[in-house]
Amino acid sequence: MSERIDPALPKAELHLHLEGAAPPAFIRGLSKEKNIDIAKIFDENGGYKFRDFVHFLDVYEAACTTLQTPEDFRRLTLAVLEDRARDGVIYAETFVSPDFCGGGDLVAWREYLHAIHDAALEAERTMGITLRGIITPIRHFGPEKARPIALCAAETVGDFITGFGIAGDENQYHPRDFTWAFDCAREAGLRLTAHAGEWGGAQSVSDALDHLKVERIGHGVQSIDDPALVDRLAENRITLEVCPGSNVTLGVYPSLAKHPIDRLRNREVIVTISTDDPPFFHTTLVKEYEDLAQTFGWTEDDFRAINADAMRAAFCDDATRQQKLKIIEGRA
């Protein structure tokens, strides 16, 4: 029998795409308001519908076409943070892609960012949840598009925008194609992460570490296939932002029992738990914890330790880190 995990357990979530967390009813509502025909991205129950990872990215981009104004992003951010707060999340980081808000134009981007940040501050006041933003170019849009995004990031780094990453189709382009963007972001003081080892195999993780010099890896689960890389991750305290439900739904692994998160943890790799794009994968952070407890026998103490690790790897200032750690460790 697995231990029951209190759904209100204080949580930190490091890997969440803002647009990917949009409830389907919210996107459908926007599509009606704006007369955009995206009926084909929904199934008969009103959920998102996709066949595989590449189709998922298409559906995702179609949903994003309904997000057209700063006000849309303000409403989206509030809706997403309400869902997180309901799951006990006290600290979250979200990927924001200027490709989907402002298209890399710095003036437009500042307006979107202002709306997202405003909503985050409102949620902090009313729900006690803290949000930080990670600016994220889309890998399959190519390195030329990543450059203006890196400049948007460098110009707006601050209390809210604290990180830079890359998402999208890992099988297109190579990490070395994005070194300019990552160097620019690093020089501006941003902390770095990259999606790797979700689809691309262990080599993709090594390449992200070597070429982009990131301190965290989005997913990174395929590292398990290279024992030397597993040692490297553990020794260098590279934190993996693992999204088990996303990996199983998209078919990276056939079941949670076959997922390597438990084996990685046993090899002393720092793993954290996130939902990625929760409505797409019919998941919540509470469900992820329940599933992990059932499958691997993880206890509340395990989850407390994982959340403390997540806060230690969070892209935030030290005062925020200490304040959240106190809550997670039951000292507040």
Point out the residues that are catalytic.
Answer: 198
The answer to whether the Cα torsion of 232, 235, 236, 237 is positive or negative is positive
37 with 31: CB under 8 angstroms? yes
Nearer to Zn ion, 276 or 291 (CB): 276
Q: Least distance in Å: CB of 328 to ligand ADE? A: 25
Q: Which of 87, 88, 83, 93 is nearest to 130 (CA)?
A: 93
**What b/e sequence results for 221-255 when a residue is b if at least 16 CB atoms lie within 10 Å of its CB, and e otherwise?**
bbbbebeebbebbeeeebbbbbbbbbbbbbebbee
Q: How many angstroms separate the CA atoms of 210 and 253, rounded?
A: 26
How many residues bind ligand ADE (CB under 6 A)? The answer is 10
Interface of this chain with ligand ADE, residues 49 to 68, rule: CB under 6 A: 60
Q: Least distance in Å: CB of 331 to ligand ADE? A: 34
Q: Which of 72, 207, 276, 288 binds ligand ADE (CB under 6 A)?
A: 276
Q: How many angstroms separate the CA atoms of 292 and 298, rounded?
A: 6
At 232, is the secondary structure helix, strand, or coil? helix
Residue 167 binds ligand ADE (CB under 6 A): yes
Q: Least distance in Å: CB of 1 to ligand ADE? A: 32
Question: Residue 239 is inside which H or E element, if any?
Answer: strand 239-242
Q: Least distance in Å: CB of 165 to Zn ion? A: 9
Residue 165 binds ligand ADE (CB under 6 A): no
Interface pattern 195-214 for ligand ADE (x via CB under 6 A)? x--x----------------
Which residues are CB-neighbours of 190 under 8 A, at least 6 positions away?
135, 153, 154, 157, 161, 162, 163, 164, 315
Q: Which listed option, Zn ion, ligand ADE, none, makes contact with residue 198 (CB within 5 to 8 Å by class)?
A: ligand ADE
Nearer to ligand ADE, 7 or 143 (CB): 143
**How is residue 288 written in tokens?**
């992820």
Q: Least distance in Å: CB of 233 to ligand ADE? A: 19
Please give the residue ranges that form the binding site for Zn ion (CB under 5 A). 276
**How is residue 233 written in tokens?**
């991750």
Q: What is the dihedral of CA 76, 77, 80, 83, to 10 degrees?
A: -120
Interface of this chain with ligand ADE, residues 112 to 151, rule: CB under 6 A: none
Interface of this chain with ligand ADE, residues 245 to 264, rule: CB under 6 A: 246
Nearer to Zn ion, 13 or 276 (CB): 276
Nearer to ligand ADE, 17 or 191 (CB): 17
Report CA 270 to chain centroid distance, whole Å: 16
Nearer to Zn ion, 95 or 289 (CB): 95
Q: Which of 10, 20, 278, 279 binds ligand ADE (CB under 6 A)?
A: 20
Q: Least distance in Å: CB of 18 to ligand ADE? A: 10
Q: Which of 277, 288, 291, 309 binds ligand ADE (CB under 6 A)?
A: 277
| E-strand stretches of 103-211 | 130-135, 161-164, 191-196
Residues that bind ligand ADE (CB under 6 A): 17, 20, 60, 167-168, 195, 198, 246, 276-277
